[in-house]
Amino acid sequence: MWEENTAYAPLRCRHKKGTQAAEALGRSRGGFTTKLHASCDGKGRPLGFVLTPGEAHDVKGFGPLFGMIADKAKALLADRGYDSDAIREEIAFHGVRAVIPAKRGRRNPALHDRDKYRQRSRVEQLFNKLKNWRRIATRYDKTRESYLGFVSLASALLWLPFVHEA
């Protein structure tokens, strides 16, 4: 039997405090959480993901996520959390049509196409499919890379039924 001698024990590295933001972890009402922001195409297939800490507002994930799809999108469907003048200007600058309902307290509410906005359910269906994977729904992974790696793996499996489409 081997006994660990403290004089010769290997050094154990502890997780440094303050790296929570780098790992996209943050405190919110639900506890220590992460927000997964996603974009998908018209058929509900995932296109890109961004992680932010749990307490971060939705607007924090918009920039990197929109940068991934700005040149390919014709219209951007988003919920009320993304309703801001800066986001609407960014979307219009790239020639994309914004389908975002106005926040309730907005003085000058922008109009949106209600029929087109109904297609936003595809994003919610994408999250539903991803959260069938327990590992994604509860985030067991400590690091950002391993969590996003598993999200990418699950996304690849969601793309498989569409591989042979022309």
* Domains by residue range for the chain, with CATH: 26-159 (3.30.420)
Q: How many whole angstroms separate alpha carbon 135 and alpha carbon 150? A: 8
Q: Give the residue among 66, 5, 4, 34 at the shortest CA–CA distance from 142.
A: 34
Is residue 157 exposed (0-12), middle (13-18) or buried (19+ Cβ within 10 Å)?
A: exposed
Q: Residue 154: its pLDDT value, please? A: 94
> pLDDT digit string (tens) for 111-136?
888 888 888 889 999 999 999 999 88
Q: How many whole angstroms separate alpha carbon 60 and alpha carbon 99? A: 19
* Torsion 27-128-153-37 (CA) sign: negative
Q: Residue 94 pLDDT > 90, yes or no?
A: yes
Tally Cβ neighbours within 10 Å of residue 112.
17
Order of strands across the sheet with 31-40?
26-28, 31-40, 46-53
Residue 35 identity (one-letter amino acid): K
Residue percentage of the chain with pLDDT more than 90? 25
* Torsion 138-142-143-149 (CA) sign: negative
In this prediction, residues 37-49 reach a mean pLDDT of 90
pLDDT interval class at 139 (50, 70, 90): confident
pTM, entire model: 0.75
